[in-house]
Amino acid sequence: MPLTLDTSLLEEKANNIRISVIKMLVAAKSGHPGGSLGLADLFSLLYFNTLNHDPEDPMWSERDRLILSNGHVVPVRYAAMAEAGYITHSKLLTLRKLGSILQGHPERTKLPALETTSGPLGSGLGQASGIALGAKMDNKRFRVYCVTSDGEHQEGNHWESVMFAAKYKLSNLTLFVDRNFIQIGGRTEDVMPLEPLREKYLSFNWNVISSDGHDFLQLSNAIAKARSEYLRPTVIICHTVPGKGVSFMEGRHEWHGKAVGEEDGKRAIKELSKIIKKKKND
Amino acid sequence: MINQNIFTKNKLVPRSPRDGFGQGLLEVGRVNPDLVVLTADLAESTRAIYFAKEFPQRFFECGVAEQGMVTLASGLASYGKIPVACSFSAFSPGRTWEQIRTTIALNDVPVVIAGLFVGVSVGPDGATHQMLEDISLMRSMPNMIVLSAADYYSGVKMVELAVGLRKPVYLRVPRVELPEIYTQEAEFGLGGSNVVWQDNDAEVVILAHGTMVYDSLLAAKLLNKKSKAVTVIDCYSLKPLDVKTVLAHCESAGCVVVAEEHQMVGGLYSAVSELFSANTPLPVESVAVFDSFGQSGQPRELMDHYGLNAENIYKKAIRVINRRKELLQKSIK
């Protein structure tokens, strides 16, 4: 993990990731734009600052592990992986197409650097805990990061793993919650209230940190704090705006799993390109 | 490799396959440092306790949380361990089927799902705990290997087999005490089977697995008394099935009885029928549970109540031999 935080680089990467996400979803004619755009900043930070990894040697045994539990936002990961050099940008347009390694939901056997297979919600933390436990048994130094959605906290499987990670003091495990308050059927607090989330994790004996999910410095500080915790797993509740970066998608649950049409795609890319140009002019 | 005292009542020592399973975990654990064992608050009942006592650092109690247990096992396997996740089969794979499907089978990582407590022979606990659908669930899952233990030593040996495969495996282990069919020298392999009874010029083949292997041997004795020659095969590898052995014996005899403590749908009877449909159509009779749940009772009385016994296998064998004769007569006409 680099000691300095090049926020302008991270912003540029995040924006590139968002543009890729839109292009992929337009080409695929289906997929989940809301969460994918909302998590672009976190994935930019993970792939270009946090993770100890090597795209040239994806299965390097000492790499940090990144587990994506809410598999439906995998376009953001594919886009970040293309940006980092794991796959080519042209490959991104094969998302959800017959024979592609980029399945609609992540499959490890198709692309081993994904680490796990996910999509059905609530199972990622269990897998991440298993990896963290194995690493602890063998005194490995690498860290395990797991990204979850807020909606999937309705799954019982998730809370079973929350208890397990606390019991076995998996301090090498950091969990991110994409707290964007939306899920496929509406607002999370209408579908099934989750608050008070912070207190829930505290009462389950986790180290809890809240962060703006779009603020690189806050996120990076939170990740650093998690590294200095030796007794408990850490959860970083990331407050994000779903659809972030595209004005007509921001904050709207309708865009959780709605296909992006050609016209909407053009508008979205135009908006995102303006951000890049503005940044460059600044 | 077959126990020579199998029909000598005073020399038979009934033991539970689950004790063999527990012993198997211990023995494999001593030579394979990658083996880790998980349970969902059933260490004693699943006999994982033997391993837990000798290897506390490699044993993980997950609490009453089967889904958490199998997803954790998936993660441990991704990292490089070989986890055996132990519970009652009604709970796992019963409750954990989707997690197994996504994070173990589709993900193709080496986890052994051990389902202890299978079938009506679980006894007094009743239908909730008497899993009769597990093979059907697991056999239909791509990448999944399905094994079934029939006695103490097959319980021991099948742990070694399952762990050594480094693939997703479902291992079915009964609770009820059963006579020892095998000796310590018995061998088990992926896609294998064991011919446990063989008469010359058999006119019927009994295919069985698990608790029904011993009853099939008793049925073979009854058939011999009526001058019927018979072959009994323990099809412990349900998936992949020992196609070569099964086809060779069954085609030669011309008719088959399948005996299993499982629903008729989706188990060995289904597997064999699928095989015969695609190869040699043969008359097959099933000894199994027919579209119903179990209930409380003592193991033996429940087995008898559901027709899971030697007498019923014998009856079905006579019936299928007659069906075979009728078919031959029709074809001659």
How does pLDDT run across A16-50, given as a tens digit for each residue?
999 999 999 999 999 999 999 999 999 999 999 99
Question: Which of A123, A130, A135 lies at the smallest CB-CB distance from B102?
Answer: A123
Partners of residue B36 in chain A, C-beta under 8 Å: 137
Question: Which of A123, A134, A135 lies at the smallest CB-CB distance from B103?
Answer: A123
What CA–CA distances, in Å, run from B71 to A8, A123, B102? 38, 6, 9
Give the contacts of B318 (CB within 8 A, at least 6 positions apart).
B223, B226, B228
The mean per-residue pLDDT over the stretch B117-137 comes to: 97
Question: Which of A117, A135, A168 lies at the smallest CB-CB distance from B103?
Answer: A117
Partners of residue B70 in chain A, C-beta under 8 Å: 126
Q: Give the strand pairing for A173-179 and B59-61.
A: unpaired
Q: Give the strand pairing for A207-212 and A234-239.
A: parallel
Interface residues of A toward B, Cβ cutoff 8 Å, are 67, 107-109, 115-120, 122-123, 125-135, 137, 156-157, 160-161, 163-164, 167-168
The mean per-residue pLDDT over the stretch B135-163 comes to: 98
The whole-angstrom distance between A159's CA and the closest CA on chain B is 8
For A222, the 3-state DSSP assignment is helix
* Chain A interface disruption, residue of B107, B109, B111, most A CBs within 10 A: B107
Contact of B167 with chain A, judged by CB distance below 8 Å, is answered with: no
At B322 the pLDDT is 97
Q: Is the pLDDT of residue B15 over 60?
A: yes
Contact of B10 with chain A, judged by CB distance below 8 Å, is answered with: no
Other CB atoms closer than 10 Å to residue A251's CB: what's the count? Answer: 15
Other CB atoms closer than 10 Å to residue A232's CB: what's the count? Answer: 19
* Chain A interface disruption, residue of B103, B106, B143, most A CBs within 10 A: B103
Q: Cβ separation of A130 and B63 shorter than 8 Å?
A: no
At B12 the pLDDT is 82
List, as one string, the DSSP characters of A91-150: HHTTTTSTT-SS-SS--TTT-GGG-S---STT-HHHHHHHHHHHHHHTT----EEEEEES
Q: B27, B44, B54, B66: which one is catalytic?
A: B66
Q: Cβ separation of A126 and B68 shorter than 8 Å?
A: yes
Q: What is the DSSP letter of B129?
A: G
Going residue by residue through chain A, which has 282 residues, state the pLDDT in tens, using 9 for 90 and above. 555 799 999 999 999 999 999 999 999 999 999 999 999 999 999 999 999 999 999 999 999 999 999 999 999 999 999 999 999 999 999 999 999 999 999 999 999 999 999 999 999 999 999 999 999 999 999 999 999 999 999 999 999 999 999 999 999 999 999 999 999 999 999 999 999 999 999 999 999 999 999 999 999 999 999 999 999 999 999 999 999 999 999 998 889 888 899 999 999 999 999 887 777 777
The whole-angstrom distance between B143's CA and the closest CA on chain A is 12
Q: What is the spatial distance between Cα B159 and Cα B290, in angstroms, rounded to a whole number?
A: 30
Residues B297-317 as b or e (16 or more Cβ within 10 Å = b): bebeebbeebbbbbebbbbbb
Which residue ranges form the domains of chain B, and what is each CATH number? Answer: 11-173 (3.40.50.970), 194-332 (3.40.50.920)
> Where does A7-281 sit in CATH, by number?
3.40.50.970
Question: Which of B68, B74, B81 lies at the smallest CB-CB distance from A160?
Answer: B68
At B332 the pLDDT is 86
**Minimum Cα–Cα distance from B104: chain A residue:** A117
At B2 the pLDDT is 85
The whole-angstrom distance between B192's CA and the closest CA on chain A is 27
**Minimum Cα–Cα distance from A108: chain B residue:** B107
Q: Cβ separation of A126 and B67 shorter than 8 Å?
A: yes
**Minimum Cα–Cα distance from B69: chain A residue:** A126
* Chain B interface disruption, residue of A143, A154, A159, A164, most B CBs within 10 A: A164
Q: Cβ separation of B72 and A127 shorter than 8 Å?
A: yes
Kindly state the helix (H) or strand (E) to which residue B76 belongs, with its residue range: helix B66-79
Partners of residue B63 in chain A, C-beta under 8 Å: 160, 163-164, 167
Q: Cβ separation of B102 and A117 shorter than 8 Å?
A: yes
> B133 catalytic, yes or no?
no
Q: Is the pLDDT of residue B13 over 90?
A: no
* Chain A interface disruption, residue of B37, B66, B71, B106, most A CBs within 10 A: B71
Chain B, 20 to 39: residues with Cβ < 8 Å from chain A are 36
For A24, the 3-state DSSP assignment is helix
What CA–CA distances, in Å, run from B115 to B66, B89, B119? 11, 4, 11
Return phi, psi of residue B23, to 5°. -65, -40
